[in-house]
Amino acid sequence: MVLKTDLYIDGEWISGTGSLPVYDPSNGEIIAHVATADDSQCEAAIDAAYRAFSPWAKTAPRLRSEILRKAFEIMVSEADQIAELISKENGKVFSDARGEVLYAAEFFRWFAEEAVRTPGDFRQAPSGDKRILVTHQPVGVSLLITPWNFPAAMATRKLGPALAAGCTVILKAASETPLTALYIVDILHRAGVPGGVVNFVMPAKSGPQIAKMLHDPRVRNLSFTGSTEVGRILIREAAECVVRTSMELGGNAPFLVLEDANIDEAVKGAMIAKMRNGGAACTAANRFVVARKVAPEFIEKFTATMSALKVAPGMTEGAQLGASVSVKERNKIAELVDNAVTAGATVELGGKIIEGTGAFYPATVLTVDKDNPILRHEVFGPVAPIVVFDTDEEAIAIANDTEYGLISYVYSSDLARAMRTAEAIESGMVAINRGVISDPAAPFGGVKQSGLGREGGFAGIHEFLETKYIGVEI
C-alpha cells in the first residue's frame, strides 16, 4: 500500500509547507508524516473548489451518481487495506476497522442512489392564478471537518451527500487520523471525480486557519463532526459570516434495561453498544441504567463478558479491544474513572491504566449512584458505569439528565412499553432491543448539545441543498 501523505488540491497531489507526524497508538511509533497547509494553500483549495463548483453542479446527476458508485466498489474491493490503515493510525481492532470500512462505503452507494432522486414540488397557489415551483440547488463550496474515531465513515457520510448534491468540498481530517481520509480522497480521484471537486488540506493550525477559511465568502457550508466544545466554537464562527452548518457533536447515550428485558440479549446488545470501536463512538452506551430487579444478573453477566475481552494491538489476531487513539485520550479516560471512584463508584472490573507501551485502557465496569460525576461526561473509552433505578419514570429522568441527546438504547420484552420509553427520551435516535442502529439509509443526528442537522437517510443530501422557490403567474 502506497500511503498518500500530500495535500490534494485541484486534482493534484502537492507538497505542504510543513508536516505532521502520525502515530501508531499501540506502540507510539511514527507511521508517516502528512503534509500541512499554510494559509495560501488553504486559499488555493477554496479557489479550486470555487472554480469547480459551477461545472460540477451542472454535471448530470447520473454521472455524479456513477462516480460515487465506482468509489463504493473500489472501497469495498480494498476494504482490508483500508481497515489495516485505520487500525494502525486509530488503534481500533481490525474487525472494528473492517466493519467501519464497509459501513463507510455504503454512504457512497446510498448517495449514488440519492443523487438521481432529488424531489421537487409543483403546485397551484391558493389564489389560482399563480404556480409555486420548488426545486433544490447545491449550496456551494462546503468545508467538511471530521474526527478521529471513525476516520473513514465520518468522511464518506459527508463526501457522499455533498458530491451527490453537486457541491464541491474541502475536507480536513483529525490530526490523529489523516491517512484514512487521504486514502478515501485517492479513491475518489481514481473513481473519476474531476479536479477541484474534492480537495484535502490539513491546516498547520486548525483553529485560526479554519476560521479564516470560513470567513471567505466563497465558502457556503460547514459540515462538522466532533466534540460539542469545538462545535460551539465553529457555530460562533459560522454565525459571523452566516454560513450554513450541520453539526454532529458529542453524545452521552443511556442504555436502559427495563425489568422485563431479556438479560442475555441485553448483555449482547450492551457489548456492541459499549465496545464497538473500543467505546470511542459518539453512539457508545455511556450510562447503563438498569432496573433494580434485574441489576444483579445484568451486572454479573455483563462484567463476565467484558472481562473475557482480549486486549491487544489492533492488528493482533483475535484482538477485541485495541489502543485508544493517543496516550492523551487514554489519560482522559483514566481521569474520569479516578474521579468517579473518588465520588464513590465501585469498580467491578478494570479501572486502572495498563502500564507499558501503547495507549491501552482495560474494559472497565463501575457501579455508581445517579449523582456520580462520570454520568455527566462522554467517556469515549471502554468504561461502563451502571446505575440502578426503581420505576420507568425514574429511568427516563436519568436518561434525560444530560446536556446531550444523540442516541439512547432501550431493552424490554414489551414493545409498547419500549416505544413509550423511546418517545419520552430526549434523543435524536433510539435503539430498541438493538446494540447498533447506524444505517446509511436512516437519518443520523442528535438533539440538545449533540448537534444540528441529520446525516444519511433521505435527509442527508438536504444538508448540501438549498431550497429554491420559483413563482410563476399564468
Q: Which is nearer to ligand NAP, 98 or 448 (CB)?
A: 448
Contact indicator for 202, 34 with CB cutoff of 8 Å: yes
- Quick one: 136 or 172, whose CB is closer to ligand NAP? 172
Q: Which residue is nearest to ligand NAP (CB)?
A: 226
Between 109 and 172, whose beta carbon lies closer to ligand NAP?
172
Shortest Å, Cβ 372 to ligand NAP: 20
Catalytic entry in 114, 248, 348, 378:
248
Identify the bridge partners of residue 14 per DSSP, sorted by sequence position.
7
The amino acid present at 422, given as its one-letter code, is A
Of residues 42, 167, 282, 378, which has the active-site annotation? 282
The residues that touch ligand NAP, with contacts defined as CB under 6 A, are 145-150, 154, 172-175, 206-207, 210, 225-227, 230, 233-234, 248-251, 282, 378, 406, 446, 451
Beta carbon nearer to ligand NAP, 246 or 372? 246
Find the shortest distance in angstroms from Cβ 294 to ligand NAP. Answer: 29
CB 426 within 8 Å of CB 448: yes
In the complex with ligand NAP, the residue whose CB is nearer, 231 or 350, is 231
Query: Shortest gap between Cβ of 134 and ligand NAP (angstroms)?
Result: 29
Residues 6+ apart with CB under 8 A from 178: 20, 22, 34, 89, 202
**How far apart, in whole angstroms, are the C-alpha atoms of residue 423 and residue 396?**
10
The count of C-alpha atoms lying within 13 angstroms of the C-alpha of 391, restricted to the half-sphere facing its C-beta, is: 3
If phi over 0 gives left and psi between -120 and 50 gives alpha, with beta otherwise, what is residue 350? Answer: left
| Residue number, 261 or 425, with CB nearest to ligand NAP | 425
Any alpha helices (H) in 11-93, and if so which ranges?
A: 39-58, 61-77, 79-90
Residue 190 identity:
R
Shortest distance in whole angstroms from residue 116 CB to ligand NAP: 26
Q: Which helix (H) or strand (E) holds 244?
A: strand 244-248
Q: How far apart are CA 9 and CA 42, in angstroms?
A: 9
248 labelled catalytic = yes
Q: What are phi and psi of 365, to 5 degrees?
A: -125, 130
Q: How far is the CB of 80 from ligand NAP (least distance, A)?
A: 23
Sort strands 244-248 and 451-452 into parallel, antiparallel or unpaired.
Answer: antiparallel
Sole residue written with cell 502537492: 14
Closest approach of ligand NAP to the CB of residue 42, in Å: 12
Q: What CA–CA distances, in Å, run from 322 to 39, 89, 120, 325, 432?
A: 36, 11, 47, 9, 28
In the complex, minimum distance from the CB of residue 293 to ligand NAP, in angstroms, rounded to a whole number: 32
SS3 (DSSP) at 25: coil
E strands, 189-243, in order:
198-200, 219-225
Is 282 catalytic? The answer is yes
Type and span of the H or E element at 366: strand 364-367
Task: Give 297 or 458: the residue with its C-beta nearer to ligand NAP.
Answer: 458
Active site members: 248, 282
